[in-house]
Structure 1
Amino acid sequence: MLNSLDDHAIMLKVKAGDVEKLGLLYHRYSRRLFGFFYRMTSDSATSEDLVQNVFMRMLKYKHSYSERGNFEAWTFHMARNVHKDHLRKNKRYTWQEDMSGWEAHLKHNDTQEAFHQKTDELEYLSRAMQALSEDKREILELTRFQKMKYEKVGDLLGITESAVKVRVHRALKALKENYLKLDGPALGSMSNQAGAD
């Protein structure tokens, strides 16, 4: 029965004092939040810590959740704030290559040659992403990886939907330029995406 409740209804129960229900929201959102933080930091341990911080803040600020709220937008608003706080404390990130999870998946599904090609592409793409400015990396994370609608991202960032489209286009263009500067292997899908937006 509880699984059929939407995120908003569950968060209202948490707000009303049934804090154990936050566990269900953790189950639904922790992987997405980890992905968001990992692509912003390139560090697994840091990302895990930041996910925990988001849910601790949810408990602390549950009273601020609106009766007409959007849980997804509220969650990523908190995640952005947690990330900004982390940046302020740590000044900057160091690049770390942590490809072990991808390698295990690719080795299982591909020939040796295809495996090496894909891991090269992922490494170059990840490095190109890290070379982007913070705002460009964030806009791609929200729209491409978290697959949030442009309208929701606009609400989250306090800009219009058309401004989101412009920022995504610029970020994809910068990502492509960074990738090519690294002399990475051909990545046609990214080029097509950058041209399509």
Structure 2
Amino acid sequence: MTDDRHLVERARAGDADAFGVLFEHYHAPILNYLNRMVSDRALAEDLTQDTFIKAYKSLPKTDPDLAFKAWLYRIATNTAISHLRRGKIVRWLPFVGEHETRAERIDSQVTRTSDISAALDQLPKHYASILLLRHYQGLSLAETAQALDITENAAKLRLFRARKAFAKIYEDSPLSGEEDLR
């Protein structure tokens, strides 16, 4: 985290090499997050590029105490949502919170993937995004709140409601079985 803070300070001052290091560090996680959101690798790559361009242009104007990781995920989320608002189609991919062996996961992946994807598709975007940020990307509650530009208490409440809505939709799925994804 200290390295990030130092790199962000340098990048804010116009050091392109420092931003390049941040890019290398966060490119894959942002790309994977966006790919999970849009289910289209090429589109996710475009959105990732847009995210980093926006970050590069905006960084000099940010607060010196910027939580860079959360801020970058906020830009990525907003970039994807803006893309959706322009009428593009999004398919949310699997959010799986279980602990199971690799063999069990492979055996049930096809069925679960379809059901989980369908359940996430039915959720409002603000619920799906908080589930993906918190459980798939592994952001802390504070980072998730910052990424979504909401308070931690609002994030807790939204996460609770998102889990409840997801569980209801998933449990109503004909193929969901007895798995608990909460």
- Per the TM superposition, whether the score is higher than 0.5 is yes
- Mapped pair 1:93 → 2:89: yes
2-structure distance, mates of 1:36, 1:5: 24
1:70 partner amino acid: A
2-structure distance, mates of 1:120, 1:54: 33
1-structure distance, mates of 2:128, 2:177: 21
Summarize deviations over 1:81-117 as a string: whole Å, max 9, x none. 212321222x1415498x9xxxxxxxxx53xx86332
2-structure distance, mates of 1:70, 1:48: 23
- Mapped pair 1:44 → 2:41: yes
1-structure distance, mates of 2:66, 2:92: 37
- Mapped pair 1:83 → 2:74: no
- Mapped pair 1:10 → 2:1: no
Partner residue, 1:171: 162
- Mapped pair 1:186 → 2:177: yes
Would the alpha carbon gap of residues 120 and 18 (structure 1) be closer, same or farther in structure 2, given more than 3 Å must change? same
Name which of 151, 159, 166 aligns with 1:160: 151
- Mapped pair 1:127 → 2:118: yes
- The structural deviation recorded for 1:189 is 3.7
1:122 partner amino acid: T
Q: How many residues align?
A: 175
TM superposition outliers: structure 1 runs of 4+ over 3 Å: 94-97, 155-160
Q: CA RMSD in A?
A: 2.6
1:26 partner amino acid: F
- Mapped pair 1:61 → 2:58: yes
Judge conservation of contact 2:74–2:146 (CA < 8 Å) in 1. no
- The structural deviation recorded for 1:146 is 2.0
Judge conservation of contact 1:40–1:130 (CA < 8 Å) in 2. no
Structure 1 portions without partners, runs of 5+: 100-108
Would the alpha carbon gap of residues 94 and 12 (structure 1) be closer, same or farther in structure 2, given more than 3 Å must change? closer
Q: Which moved more, 1:126-135 or 1:178-187?
A: 178-187
Aligned-pair identity in percent equals 27
Partner residue, 1:138: 129
